[in-house]
Chains A and B, each alone.
Chain A
Amino acid sequence: MDPRRKRTAVARALLITLFLVGHGIYALPLPKKITLEEIRKQDAQENVDRWLGWLGSVGLRFEKPWFEERVTTLATAIGEGHDLLRTPFKPWMRLTGTGQSWALFAVPDRWPVRLEIEVQRQGSKEWELAYRRLDPEHAELAEVLRYRRIRGIYDGQISKPRAAYKNLTRWIARDIFERHPDITQVRVQGVKTHTTLPSEPPDTTRETVSPRPHRRENHGTAKAKEAGK
């Protein structure tokens, strides 16, 4: 091998080694930091109960609060250690938007939330269903809301609304006000249900989550502005 090619090959092997170390650290399937508040949420509690039940069946009995505290302490310590290891590689990963995070359906959601949009028309106090996910009879904006990037916003944030979800509901309302001049109010919300297994008694619990009402007068739509001129 000629010396120039050899130097290139060595440099390449070094860079690949560095790349493998960085991505290897990112890929380590270690638990993430978790708070007591998060582990005590409804959907996490179901898993805690199942784990306690399973551990109990093999003779390992723990008090639930003690178990929750130990799990959060351990997971947080591991998560922080992992974060420290990632530090040298963070600038590159952030710049390129790369990484290794593949917790796909790690814990299937037994409390799924279905997005709904309700509207009120002029002269009526009744809320009318305009959109419900997977309901072909109520499909206002259905094509946009099923797009993966939009779904990611409401599916990920509807239980704990943050800026993107709030902006999405505002955008939905503005769009509906523009296209339906008779609609005076729009309410975007989720309906949480409980998925039970066929072997379990059905649970018909329905809980409305994160309702975001919007009034026409608070939305300066293009058409409204035009009409006002």
Chain B
Amino acid sequence: MSAPVESPAPAGNPAWWEIPGRWARWVAFWDQEEHPRSLGLVRLLLGIVVWFDLAQIANLDLVVELFGTAEMGGLSDAAVRTEVPYWYQVFPNEPWSAWALYLTMLVTATTFTIGFFTRSSALILLLCWAQQATILPPSDRGIDLMCRNVLCLLMFTQAGQWLGVDGAIRRWRTGVPTTRIPAWPRYLLLLQIVVMYWTAGVQKVGLEWTPMGEFSALYVILQDPAIATWDFSWVANQPFYFSTQVGTAVTYIWQWTYPIVLLWYWYDFGPQRDTWFRRVSKRYHLKWIYIAIGAYFHFALAVTLELGIFPYAMLALYPAFFHPDTLLDVARRLRLAPPSPAAPPAPAAPTAG
């Protein structure tokens, strides 16, 4: 999928790979800029997911239980550990301290979502979230770690410049919208997703993921009552069992080979060298097939397993796969954005994505 570059790099600037010297190229690569659309969308979607998760805690009346210590009715032993979490070193062991931590997270999740003081909101939310994880470690899941990693990147970005109050204020003050922000947080976010999928794949040492274990991993996981959405004992019958075996094999191969997505990004946005694999990849849209498998995988998890916000938070990161101009192109095709101006597009300076 190619799109006209909406806000190309300033004319006359060479592409990063044309710059002599490895270190200079490295510096130039991380110095690229792009429209804030993709990161703004990640901020908005992830913020909504986090906000709903926090709202669910209050709805279930679990604030003191999850943020407090056993002394005040919570589930944590934090107050009697040798290393007391910073929060309870500063604040007293009272229910209001648990509420204060929770409300700080809720307020900053709200301001982060609407893109108001986006960077400070991300920083405070991150630090408070880390405290909750320290207070009650078993309540902290893999997706919490992922969300904190993403916040750690987004606290350096201007993700609030698109669909955010920060962007509206700036536009009101200067009269022009922000069209270029540093692109490196999106590249690192993309890398983070790749690392997560790949390391999750290579650490799958249970033989159930392999032919020696009949590719039975998904079947076995579905039989775990702690995480299954329903009783899946009927999956033992054919053709359902076979479908779980196919699912296991696809998941395993897909995760092991996921770093190839980076190669396809290199093909799309790096130096233009023609190879047969590049041609095949482009012709059959392999990059998008891999990304679509990931989205399907998360939808399937959302339906079959009760993993809380995991599938939704992961899907919230998917706009990072799209270059901002590609997103605009998609929006135009769906008639969600005005058509591009009639003027001929500027020569497309390749931008890494």
Give me the interface of A with B, judged by CB distance under 8 Å: 9-10, 12-13, 16-17, 19, 23, 27, 29, 47, 50-51, 53-54, 94-110, 112-115, 133-134, 143-144, 146-157, 162-165, 167-168, 171, 195, 197-199
B126 engages A97 (CB within 8 Å): yes
Instruction: Report Cα–Cα, A165/B340, bound state, in Å.
Output: 58
B27 engages A100 (CB within 8 Å): no
A102 engages B142 (CB within 8 Å): yes
B203 engages A96 (CB within 8 Å): no
Instruction: Report Cα–Cα, A197/B212, bound state, in Å.
Output: 12
B253 at the interface (CB under 8 A from A): no
Instruction: Report Cα–Cα, A14/B195, bound state, in Å.
Output: 21
Interface string of B139-167 (1 = CB under 8 A from A): 11110110011001000000000000000
Write out the residue numbers on chain A whose beta carbons fall within 8 Å of the beta carbon of B224. 108-109, 112, 195
B213 at the interface (CB under 8 A from A): yes
Contact count A vs B, C-beta below 8 Å:
196
Given A134-B228, A134-B230; A101-B142 close (CB under 8 Å)? yes
Identify which of A104, A154, A155 contacts B200 (C-beta below 8 A): A104
B308 engages A144 (CB within 8 Å): no
B196 at the interface (CB under 8 A from A): yes
Query: Which B residues, 17 to 69, have Cβ-Cβ distances below 8 Å to chain A?
Result: 23, 26-28, 30-31, 56-57, 60, 62, 65-66
B129 engages A97 (CB within 8 Å): yes
Query: Which B residues, 202 to 255, have Cβ-Cβ distances below 8 Å to chain A?
Result: 202-209, 212-214, 216-217, 219-221, 223-228, 230-231, 236-237, 241
Instruction: Report Cα–Cα, A94/B204, bound state, in Å.
Output: 26
Write out the residue numbers on chain A whose beta carbons fall within 8 Å of the beta carbon of B310. 148
B27 engages A102 (CB within 8 Å): no
B6 at the interface (CB under 8 A from A): no
A97 engages B133 (CB within 8 Å): yes
Closest to B80 in A: A163
B77 at the interface (CB under 8 A from A): yes
Write out the residue numbers on chain A whose beta carbons fall within 8 Å of the beta carbon of B221. 105, 108-109
Q: How far is the CB of A8 from the nearest CB of chain B, in Å?
A: 8
B56 engages A147 (CB within 8 Å): yes
B306 engages A9 (CB within 8 Å): no
B202 engages A148 (CB within 8 Å): no
Q: How far is the CB of B284 from the nearest CB of chain A, in Å?
A: 28
Instruction: Report Cα–Cα, A19/B30, bound state, in Å.
Output: 13
B204 engages A106 (CB within 8 Å): yes
B134 engages A97 (CB within 8 Å): yes
Q: How far is the CB of B211 from the nearest CB of chain A, in Å?
A: 10
Given A9-B28, A16-B184; A96-B220 close (CB under 8 Å)? no
Instruction: Report Cα–Cα, A69/B58, bound state, in Å.
Output: 48
Interface string of B303-326 (1 = CB under 8 A from A): 000111110000000000000000
Q: How far is the CB of B208 from the nearest CB of chain A, in Å?
A: 5
A108 engages B217 (CB within 8 Å): yes
Closest to A99 in B: B145
A152 engages B140 (CB within 8 Å): yes
Closest to B212 in A: A54
Instruction: Report Cα–Cα, A155/B221, bound state, in Å.
Output: 13
B302 at the interface (CB under 8 A from A): no
A164 engages B77 (CB within 8 Å): yes
B199 engages A102 (CB within 8 Å): yes
Q: How far is the CB of B218 from the nearest CB of chain A, in Å?
A: 8
Write out the residue numbers on chain B whose beta carbons fall within 8 Å of the beta carbon of A97. 126, 129-131, 133-134, 140, 144-145, 148
Closest to A110 in B: B220
Interface string of B56-99 (1 = CB under 8 A from A): 11001010011000100111110000000000000000000000
Write out the residue numbers on chain A whose beta carbons fall within 8 Å of the beta carbon of B27. 9-10, 12-13
The 5 residue pairs across chains A and B that have the minimum distance between CB atoms: A148-B308, A97-B130, A107-B206, A163-B77, A149-B139
Closest to A133 in B: B225
Instruction: Report Cα–Cα, A96/B152, bound state, in Å.
Output: 8
B114 at the interface (CB under 8 A from A): no
B223 engages A171 (CB within 8 Å): no
B138 engages A95 (CB within 8 Å): no
A114 engages B26 (CB within 8 Å): no
Given A106-B206, A148-B308, A164-B76; A197-B30 close (CB under 8 Å)? no
Which of the listed residues B75, B76, B306 has the most CB atoms from chain A within 10 Å of its own CB?
B75
